[in-house]
A and B are shown apart, each in its own frame.
Chain A
Amino acid sequence: MYQFNYGYELLELTKKFNKPISEIVMLAEQERTGEDLEVIFEKMKKNLQVMREAINKGLNEDIKSVSGLSGGDAKKLYARIVIGNTLSCETMAKAAASALAVTEVNASMGRIVAAPTAGSSGVIPGALITVARKFGKSEDDMTKALFTASGIGIIIAKNATLAGAEGGCQAEVGSASAMAAGALVELMGGTPEQCLTAASFAIMNLLGLVCDPVAGLVEIPCEKRNALGALNAMICADFAIAGMDSVIPFDEVVETMYRVGKAIPSALRETAEGGLAKTPTAMRLKKEIFEKEKRGD
């Protein structure tokens, strides 16, 4: 009764039952699994809790990735925010720092929520928790927004892909950004249509983004792209709430993302054989890390 494969079906359900996207997604989950709504809600709340812990860890502790390639940048940006010295407004800088924090915790073998993937785990917490704090939203509001995000993610997973190896970074950070944008719109009281419009904008802005991790590790440039994905989600939510129209409907944008992903050469789809991964510096770093592994340091 509540199942959906496409954005237009999800919107029809929200109209038919006069409920926001988050509730339709919860009801669909209940219908599929037979679990109590309360159990499903608490499980999602646990995700939120892990997201918050990862942000706090990344902003306050000295983080170093396993490879030694990255870490500590979230803390650096946070220090600028504390003294009120960032060029971007405080909310944007905080969202970026929070997204960075989660991805750095990820790279250092800390605990995160794959949202939708580990490589894009910073986008949704970065955008959602920062905005929710600014507007004094409750824990339950944020949890509901995570269901909205999941609903958008389910449609992308069904009709395109969430894997960088298949669709490039647009499929990971792009999808996460679309999920976050829709979540922010519902959090701020926008309509279901506006949620999907925001998600469309988010993917449109990141269409074609390649996946080119240095040394094949989820660090450079992934961590900064997570920050970008969080900021993109916020702008796109603003676009939609302001009443802008994406013109191209969400389902067509998702289909486009899949088509573009197929057209991205394999060297730029997580194989670390193209893009930044192929630069002389990246090749040198890869060799250093690889030799370190061989020696067993």
Chain B
Amino acid sequence: MREFSVFDIMGPIMIGPSSSHTAGAARLAKIARKIADDEIKEVEFILYESFARTYKGHGTDRALLAGILGFDPDDERLPRSFEIAEELGLKFKFTESDEEAPHPNTVRMIIKTSDGKTYNILGCSVGGGNVLLKEINGIEVEFTGEYETLITTHIDKPGIVAAVTKVLADCNINIAFMRVYRHAKGDKAIMVIESDQEIPERAKEVIKNIDGILNAIILNPV
């Protein structure tokens, strides 16, 4: 039987009107912002299925942009995210898609940062404000953002996984879940590690310097 916290039932505190269409949307975009890990200059949201059909009535658009701005789902600035983004000079655009998606509440976020990088992130809002990240830059992933999460981009070759987990073990960090995803053998790969403890910044720096690691980011629970 699934376990529930009292705060799964009485909560979350959130900006309405919908936990899946508003709170979940804000969380997805907030995770995407952390993945981009730099100043965001431009973002396009491609909305699918229920998100595409009802996004304005549910404020999904404002919630998504609020997440990109780094606001939490209960931040009262959320309904004013359009105005705030304009003041900050952040460009944004919403596109409705007719294509099928992995879930009725799905969004693709194409983010351009000030250092010229582009991130392409697909995620779903799966109910009650919970989310699932499904794709980062063309590589399939699956994580929820509920745990402390380390995401590395690396070259698919022997020894990398062991090197990364050793750094974590040295910091006395217990790995709750771990998965490795790749395009093709020897190509770019993504590793997602969800842990019970907070991962210190210095661990990230050590991991970044491992031969074959292209990037490492840490997402605190969102």
A residues touching B (Cβ–Cβ < 8 Å)?
5, 25-26, 29, 32-33, 40, 43-44, 46-47, 50, 65-67, 105-119, 121, 124, 146-147, 149-151, 153-154, 157-158, 162-163, 165, 179, 215-219, 289-290, 292-293
Q: Which of A111, A147, A149 has the most CB of B within 10 A?
A: A111
Complex interface: chain A residues within 8 A of B127 (CB):
163, 165
Per-position contact with A for B61-81: 1 when CB-CB < 8 Å, else 0? 010000000000010101100
Per-position contact with A for B52-64: 1 when CB-CB < 8 Å, else 0? 0111111100100
Q: Does B19 contact A (CB under 8 A)?
A: yes
| Min CB gap A251→B, angstroms | 13
| Min CB gap B50→A, angstroms | 8
B contact residues, total (Cβ < 8 Å): 37
| Min CB gap B6→A, angstroms | 4
Complex interface: chain A residues within 8 A of B128 (CB):
114, 117, 163
Complex interface: chain A residues within 8 A of B4 (CB):
153-154, 157-158
Complex interface: chain B residues within 8 A of A112 (CB):
13-16
| Min CB gap A106→B, angstroms | 3
> A29 to B3, alpha carbons, bound, how many Å?
11
Total A-B residue pairs with C-beta atoms closer than 8 Å?
A: 133
B17 to A217, Cβ gap below 8 A? yes
**11 A-B pairs in the complex with CB atoms less than 8 angstroms apart:** A67-B57, A108-B16, A111-B13, A113-B13, A114-B128, A149-B9, A150-B7, A151-B6, A157-B8, A289-B57, A292-B56
Complex interface: chain B residues within 8 A of A154 (CB):
4, 6, 9
Complex interface: chain B residues within 8 A of A110 (CB):
15-16, 76
A150 to B10, Cβ gap below 8 A? yes
| Min CB gap A230→B, angstroms | 16
> Chain B at the A interface: mostly helix, strand, loop or mixed?
loop
Q: Which one of A46, A215, A292, A293 contacts B55 once the chains associate, using CB atoms below 8 Å?
A: A293
> A163 to B62, alpha carbons, bound, how many Å?
24
Given contacts A118-B17, A163-B127, A216-B54, contact A109 B59 (CB under 8 A): yes
> A162 to B14, alpha carbons, bound, how many Å?
17
Given contacts A47-B13, A66-B17, A109-B79, contact A25 B57 (CB under 8 A): no
Q: Does B202 contact A (CB under 8 A)?
A: no
Q: Which of B5, B7, B14, B16 has the most CB of A within 10 A?
A: B16
Complex interface: chain A residues within 8 A of B5 (CB):
29, 32-33
Complex interface: chain B residues within 8 A of A44 (CB):
6-7, 10
Complex interface residues of chain B between 1 and 46 (CB less than 8 A to chain A): 1-19, 22-23
Q: Does B123 contact A (CB under 8 A)?
A: no
Q: Does B145 contact A (CB under 8 A)?
A: no
